Amino acid sequence: MVKVLLVLIAYLSFLVVSGHAIDSPQYTVVHSQSDFQIRLYRQSSWMSATVHGTSFNKSTKDAFHRLYKYIHGANLNSSQFAITAPVLTSVTPSALGSEYTVRFFFSPKYEESPPQPYPELNLQFDKWRSHCVAVRVFPGFAKDDTISKEIKALETSLDDYLFGKSAVLEEKNSYTIAQYNASYHPTGRVNEVWLNISGLTAEGCPSYGGKY
Ligand SMILES: *[C@@H]1O[C@H](CO)[C@@H](O)[C@H](O)[C@H]1NC(C)=O
Ligand SMILES: *[C@@H]1O[C@H](CO)[C@@H](O)[C@H](O)[C@H]1NC(C)=O
Ligand SMILES: *[C@@H]1O[C@H](CO)[C@@H](O)[C@H](O)[C@H]1NC(C)=O
Ligand SMILES: *[C@@H]1O[C@H](CO)[C@@H](O)[C@H](O)[C@H]1NC(C)=O
């Protein structure tokens, strides 16, 4: 556990010290108010690892450890990847605990022929189509209790904003946490909670009719 934590810290701290151009998914802001934003993300590709668990930080660390190996050569091309941001954790509650899917953003440079992961890492390559995400920024450490507070606050903001509009919150039950900073930074941390939204026509959000 300590080793896995150090690996995550090493990765996230590299994000911070290497101040130059880190690849991130591209988006435009289509709506903004003080408590949340709606972003239209372009198509993006991600390498993902899923674990079943009950703790956000433990599950994120465990899944990230598998991605870390891939990024550092545990793939059939022995490719090493430049770091990217953010690291996402999508949480879907299930009967016992939750499914935690942690994602590493795949630079468009590689997405046409992503090197195959070692099979034992059990990773999946996900291509996301262009879509809208409601985003609430929160400081501090992303932990199970802070996360549930933030997600509720975002849902409340969206209830007001979406009232009378034909938009659809894509998944009522699952949400995504985006992390940008090294674990050792106690202050100045930036995290986000994301919820997929479709059908906000005036804002230019694609409508997928729930078919993902
Ligand atoms: C999760 O993080 C909190 C604080 O960052 C820590 O107190 C707790 O022990 C961690 N839990 C696990 C399972 O790592
Ligand atoms: C990985 O190797 C395969 C087969 O040799 C090759 O087709 C592919 O282009 C390589 N991908 C990268 C990103 O180097
Ligand atoms: C959000 O939208 C993307 C793009 O269509 C999709 O791949 C993803 O599964 C959706 N759900 C979550 C929780 O991110
Ligand atoms: C955390 O990440 C955000 C987004 O990349 C950045 O603006 C901020 O300066 C970082 N905070 C610290 C303490 O490095």
Q: Which atom of ligand 3 lies closest to the CA of 126?
A: 7
pLDDT at 51: 97
Q: Is the CB of 58 under 6 A from ligand 1?
A: yes
CATH number of 78's domain: 3.20.80.10
Q: By alpha-carbon position, which residue is closest to atom 9 of ligand 4?
A: 188
* Average of per-residue pLDDT values in the chain: 87
CB–CB of 163/77 below 8 Å? no
* Residue-wise pLDDT tens digits, 134-182: 999 999 999 988 999 999 999 999 999 988 887 777 666 889 999 988 7
Instruction: Reply yes or no on whether the pLDDT at 2 is more than 70.
Output: no
Q: How many C-beta atoms surround the C-beta of residue 51 within 10 A?
A: 20
Question: Could you tell me if 37 and 51 lie in one domain?
Answer: no
User: What's the structural domain count of the chain?
Assistant: 2
Measured in Å, residue 70 CA sits from the centre of ligand 2 at 15
59 contacts 51 by C-beta, under 8 angstroms: yes
CB 132 within 8 A of CB 196: yes
Q: Which of 126, 146, 174 is the last residue of a domain?
A: 126
Q: CB-hemisphere CA count at 13 Å for 82?
A: 11
- The closest residue, in CA terms, to atom 14 on ligand 1 is 58
User: Of 126, 150, 176, which residue constitutes the final position of a domain?
Assistant: 126
pLDDT one-digit tens code per residue, 67-125: 999 999 999 999 999 888 999 999 998 888 999 999 999 988 888 889 999 999 999 99
Tell me which of 126, 158, 191 is where a domain ends: 126
Whether 167 is covered by a domain: the verdict is yes
Confidence of residue 211 (pLDDT cuts 50, 70, 90): very low
Tell me the ligand closest to 5's alpha carbon.
1
Q: Which domain holds residue 149?
A: 2-42+129-203
pTM of this structure: 0.86
Q: Is residue 78 part of a domain?
A: yes
Q: Which amino acid is at 184?
A: Y
Ligand 3 centroid–CA 170 distance in Å is 8
Contacts of 107 (CB under 8 A, 6+ apart): 23, 81, 82, 84
Q: Ligand 3: which residue has its CA nearest to atom 1?
A: 196
For atom 3 of ligand 3, the residue with the nearest CA is: 128
